[in-house]
Chains A and B, each alone.
Chain A
Amino acid sequence: MSDIRKADMVGTATNGSTVQRPLSPHLTIYRWPPTMLASILNRATGIALSAGSLLLVWWLAAAAAGPAAFAQVDGFARSPIGLLLLLGWTASLFYHLFGGIRHLAWDMGYLFAKPSLNPVTYFIIGLTALATLAVWLAAYLSIGS
């Protein structure tokens, strides 16, 4: 066996002999079901949040360093790029949060039945949009007042 991972695809036939199971194509063949989108979004938003955590560190370190350093973060956050990053960060946070709660529910044995999988996916995507909108609306209103 040249590649040790092929051991994953070794199976036993009904007569007891060893057979090499084929790896069927999946990503490139099937139309994406909502659950597949939900799954990769959870990973993508997790990676986005990892990058976004740099902003949290910068913000805290600047607040501890003093007014001059803090003004730099503030200026960056208010710039078009900063606002865009913050918007992406907000949406990623809410998606990962709701997707994470979905995972925790699954781990406890809830919502894992086939009929609930797609509705839950649409629900968390909708909830993400709503929560993101609510936060930015609240931000817009509080800056205006």
Chain B
Amino acid sequence: MASARKPDDIAVMRSQLGRARGLGSAKSGVHHWKVERITALALVPLSLWFVLEVLRHLGAPQPAIAAWAGRPVNAALLLALVIMTFHHTQLGLQVVIEDYIRNIRRREAAILAIKGACLLLGLIAGVAVLKLAVLAH
């Protein structure tokens, strides 16, 4: 019987489970993938709506924009756009970071920083929309 190549750095006695350990969670990947798709689906109509609305209000002064954004339906759609945008953004950037940053400490730090930044930016935009909605007359 011909023996196959056995490079030195392979630990033959390791089980399949032992090899898989440390390569990442087998629990949260599906959820991440699914939410990325769901937020993408929501962003298809929301972003098209936003582009059309910006085109319609091109060159409009601040009071006109504030009045437009303050209307309940527009404010709700803007909030949905902001939430979906930043949720999708942090999921997407997380994958980019996981692909390119090797060092696990730097990788985790970068992911946390991205998630924190997305949360804060989303909150700022959300509070701005809420302010316009509440103060609208």
Q: Which residues of A contact B (CB under 8 A)?
A: 1-2, 4-8, 10, 13, 15, 17-20, 43, 46-47, 49-50, 53-54, 56-57, 60-67, 70-71, 90, 93, 97, 100-101, 103-104, 107, 135, 138-139, 142-143
Contact = CB atoms under 8 A, between A and B. Distances in A.
Given A15-B1, A97-B44, A101-B44, A64 B128 contact: yes
Contacts of B43: 97, 100
B41 A104 contact: yes
Closest 5 CB pairs of A and B: A70-B62, A64-B128, A7-B19, A17-B4, A13-B4
B92 A20 contact: no
B51 A135 contact: yes
B81 to A, nearest CB: 8
Interface of B: 1-7, 9-12, 14, 19-20, 22-23, 37, 40-41, 43-44, 47-48, 51, 55, 58-59, 61-63, 65-66, 69, 78, 82, 85-86, 89, 92-93, 96, 121, 124-125, 127-129, 131-132
Which secondary structure dominates chain B's binding surface?
Answer: helix
